[in-house]
Each structure stands twice: as C-alpha cells, then as structure tokens.
Amino acid sequence: MNEVQRAKIVLKLLNKTYPKIKVPLKSRNVFTLLISVLLSAQCTDVNVNNVTRNIYPKYYKPIHFKKLGRKKIEKLIKKIGIFRIKAKSIYNLSKLLIENHAGKVPKTFEELEKLPGVGHKTASVVMSQGFGYPAFPIDTHIHRLAQRWGLTNGKNVVQTEKDLKRLFPKKNWNKLHLQIIYYGREYCKARDCFGISCKICTTCYPNRKKPLKTKKA
C-alpha cells in the first residue's frame, strides 16, 4: 500500500467518523479567533475557551485590548500558560492592527505572519477558519499522526504540510485538519494507540506489531 492509497483510507474513515465538525476554539469574530489561536499555544482549547468566555462578551476588538494595556490583559489571561508573553503579543498585535490595518485582521498569510506572536500555523488557522481560505494548519499532533499513518517522513512540520497538501484535495483541507485533531484526541492518542490499535493505523498498516516512534515537530 502506498501513501496515496493510505491517504484515501484516512479521508474515508475520517469523513465516516466526523461527517460534521465544529471549530474547537470559541470566538466572536475573526479578531477573537486570532486571539484564541494565539492563546492556544502550549495550552488546551478547553482552557482557552474557559478563559475567553469571560473576556469576549466585553472585549472583542483591537481597540479594546489597546485601551486595556498589557498589565490588564495579563490579569485576564493569567490562567493560561506563558500568559505574560501572550499578553505582550496581544497588546502589540492590537496596536498594529489599528495603526496599519484600520483595526481589521488582514486576509493574507504574509501580513498575518508579520503580526507579533503569529506564526505560520496560527496564520493558517485564521485563514482557514476565519476567512474560509484553503489552508492546512500543522500542529505537533497532526505532525505525529501523519507519520503514524504513513503520509509523511516526519522531517519537520514544513515537510508535513507539503506532503498533506499534495496527498489531499484542496477542498478537504479546512475540514480535514480539524478531523485529524479530533481523531487524534479520541482514537489515536500519543500514549495509547502507538500506531498499532486505532482503526486508521490498523487499516493502513495491518502487519505492524511494534509501537511506532514518531519524530517531534
């Protein structure tokens, strides 16, 4: 079985398991989606949603966070990991959006990735979930699963993104990256499946007996 055949199996099983998918991070608009994705680095979506539930009803525009200032933003997000660094990014990002983009979130990868605290993965999530642009955000979980399923060599997240974009139709990217995340959390866990017990792993590699070691992102 080659990688193209495995990709077809993955797509079929994921569509069967998750015919409809919800965006895990709660947001009020594209700006709050950007903030939530930024906050989710090294933090669970559940924790981010719990914290932002008390923020977004009142603060949901760049001007709101600019007026708050760094210290007040820190107090609002202090239950989230590396909150001081994230508060600084949110404050500076909000100022830049007001100064350079009329308070709007830009709609290109290039402009998004120039914002403080925004890397390619964060930009990809905003482009796909915020603007509906075909993108394939790759986090450590998708990087790990793509290796288990024989879709990439695990060289790095850049290579994994290239491989997945090559193997799957563009129309599926936005939904597929969420399906993979949900499947990994539920069935192909890092310290549970090890590449030998979930439906996708056993279908793609029926003869695999030993746990697979994956390369970190």
> Is residue 171 classed exposed, middle or buried when 0-12, 13-18 and 19+ CB atoms within 10 A define those classes?
exposed
Write down the pLDDT at residue 190: 85
Write down the pLDDT at residue 214: 87
User: Is residue 139 annotated as a catalytic residue, yes or no?
Assistant: yes
- Supply the mean pLDDT for the chain: 95
Write down the pLDDT at residue 27: 97
Distance CA 182, CA 18 (A): 8
**Which one of the listed residues 66, 86, 121, 163 is annotated catalytic?**
121
Return the structure tokens found at 10: 């993955």
Cα-based distances in Å from 211 to 71, 135, 206: 46, 31, 13
Domain edges within the chain: 3-21+136-204, 30-130
**For residue 216, pLDDT beyond 90:** no
pLDDT in tens, 79-93: 998 999 999 999 999
Asked if residue 151 lies in contact with residue 3, where contact means CB atoms within 8 angstroms, the answer is yes
pLDDT in tens, 167-199: 999 999 999 999 999 999 999 998 889 899 999
* pTM metric for this prediction: 0.92
**Which one of the listed residues 95, 139, 189, 215 is annotated catalytic?**
139
Write down the pLDDT at residue 64: 98
Measured from the Cβ of residue 136, the count of other Cβ atoms closer than 10 Å reads 22
Domain 3-21+136-204 of CATH type 3.40.190.10: no
Query: For the chain, how long is the longest CA-to-CA vector?
Result: 59
User: What class does CATH assign to 30-130?
Assistant: mainly alpha
